[in-house]
Amino acid sequence: MERDPVSVTPPNPPSGPPVPPPGHPGPPVAGPKGERRGAWGRLFLIAALVGLVSLLGAGAGTYALARNAELGEYTARCGSIRCIPLRPSTLIDALKAKGFTCEEQDGTWRCRLTIAGTEFETYIDGHENLISDFSASVRSDEEETIPAATKSFLLWMGSLPFGDDPATAEEVRGWLNQRFDSGEQSMATIGSYNCELTAEQKRNLRLRIWVRQG
């Protein structure tokens, strides 16, 4: 029997340096004095995002998810299709609590935050009060390497659908870590989900995840 997902109250920003969970990159190391301000900005962002990981994961884990026997993985029914078992409002409220600005148009939410010259952006499509499709992108000034903050944000977003399935969440993170530096567009089907990473440019990465129907 399915029940409505519960709401989640976002945590307060952590007061000290974050301790990344297993599978997540550590915070960036500050460079020369001229770069330290930007590095501290990225450090605060990573601290905030890491704080959200366990909370949203725990929230998703409390849902009474319906097991899709045909696909063999956890999803949630939303009308005539299947969705990610997470309310749009849960993610939107958590992002707003961390400084993101969100706006809705025609059922799609767009949330943005810019810190130290790096722009984080998320699009969230809702259907029957659940998330049917979402994407996350990061644009930075880095040309040669992918910043740690970029990886942390996309790894977190990639883990969102799998609060009730740590093994699949780890599989998604492993796939992302392998593809970040590929310099190309990559696609994979993991469990009941389609994952797409666009990584042609290190300064502009985009991740999209949606439920495989059928």
The pLDDT value given to residue 44? 52
Indicate the pLDDT class of residue 21, thresholds 50, 70 and 90.
very low
The counts of H helices and E strands in the chain are: 4, 10
192: closest CA among 86, 83, 90, 91? 83
Indicate the pLDDT class of residue 9, thresholds 50, 70 and 90.
very low
Q: What is the CA radius of gyration of the chain?
A: 17
The pLDDT value given to residue 138? 95
The pLDDT value given to residue 27? 34
Residues 135-152 as b/e (b if ≥16 CB within 10 A, e otherwise) read bbbbbbebeeebbbbbbb
Residue 160 has pLDDT above 90, yes or no: no
Model confidence pLDDT, tens digit, residues 177-193: 999 988 889 999 998 89
Q: What is the mean pLDDT of residues 128-133?
A: 92
Q: What is the mean pLDDT of the chain?
A: 74
